[in-house]
Amino acid sequence: MKPQTLKTALTPLFIALALASGAAHADKLDDIKKAGVLRVAAFDGNPPFGYVDATSKKIVGLDIDYANELGKKLGVKVEIVPTNPANRIPLLTSNKVDLVFANFTITEDRAKVIDFSIPYIASGQQFLAKKGLLKSADDVKKVRVGTDKGTTMETTLREKYPDTKVVLYDDTPLGLAALRNGNIQALSQDGTKLTAILATLPDKDKYEIPPFAISEEYEGVGVPKGETRLVNYLNDWLRELEKNGTAQQIYDKWFGQQSAQPLPRLFKIGDTKLSQK
């Protein structure tokens, strides 16, 4: 018998390596269906997007409703993993979660590390402050402003107001406490979140959200980098929610006229810009 040539001997090895590589890089959408569980990073202290309900002790909110709708679509159980703003990307890139539903603004820098779905909600970056303190965007230069660490809010404040004292907090409730005890004079967040916060304050008559914004924020679902099939699936599913009225129902539940924080819906899934009031 003739000895095998090097090429012939290595062929089975290459085939085995190729199969192993394919298994190691299995499609995330298939992985979720096979596991029967969708692991979702979501806020647990940022109403109305994600927070612990005082009665049920469960995490609820607008983002949770979207995650649960996706779970129903996929036919899997949804497992919520609490996060703060700074941990959203690390949870995703370390494979501790499959997706992020957490008021996640789409930016070019973040898109270098992870992928995003199309936006499903949008708002502008605004401020919560004592009434009469901020009459225009220029007044922000004169006050101490708090915001969440590791967010687009922080980046925008530093770019637009380089001389303003920006105080960072791990989560919005900590910034709100600082505002109310006088450690900061304004809290900066997206307008939808501030509207919800203002509605819950026992002394809300002392505070206001001045009628100006310093940016437009478009939020999508955070997806592991390179999972193109999953991104396309999410985009089609989100468009379907808009078409069948589910997206409107979710928005009305948290921001409709009968909600604690009524806010006009200025963005629909599929839009490219915020509409005007």
Please name which of 238, 216, 19, 204 lies closest in space to residue 119, comparing C-alpha atoms: 238
Buried b / exposed e over 38-48, threshold 16 CB at 10 Å, is: bbbbbbbbbbb
* CA 152 remoteness from chain centre: 11
- Give me the CATH topology for the region 124-216: D-Maltodextrin-Binding Protein; domain 2 (3.40.190)
- Per-residue confidence (pLDDT) for residue 276, from 0 to 100: 56
pLDDT at 239: 98
Q: Which residues of the chain have pLDDT under 70?
A: 1-26, 276-277
Cβ-contact 227, 234 below 8 angstroms: no
pLDDT score, position 26: 59
Tell me where in the chain the CATH 3.40.190.10 domain(s) lie: 28-122+218-255, 124-216
> pLDDT tens-digit profile of 31-60?
999 999 999 999 999 999 999 999 999 999
Number of residues that this document lists for the chain: 277
CA distance 145 to 184: 6
Q: Packing angle between helix 62-74 and helix 246-255, nearest 10 degrees?
A: 150
Alpha helices in 135-267 (DSSP H): 152-160, 172-180, 191-200, 228-243, 246-255
Query: What pLDDT is stored for residue 95 in this prediction?
Result: 97
Topology of the domain comprising 28-122+218-255? D-Maltodextrin-Binding Protein; domain 2 (3.40.190)
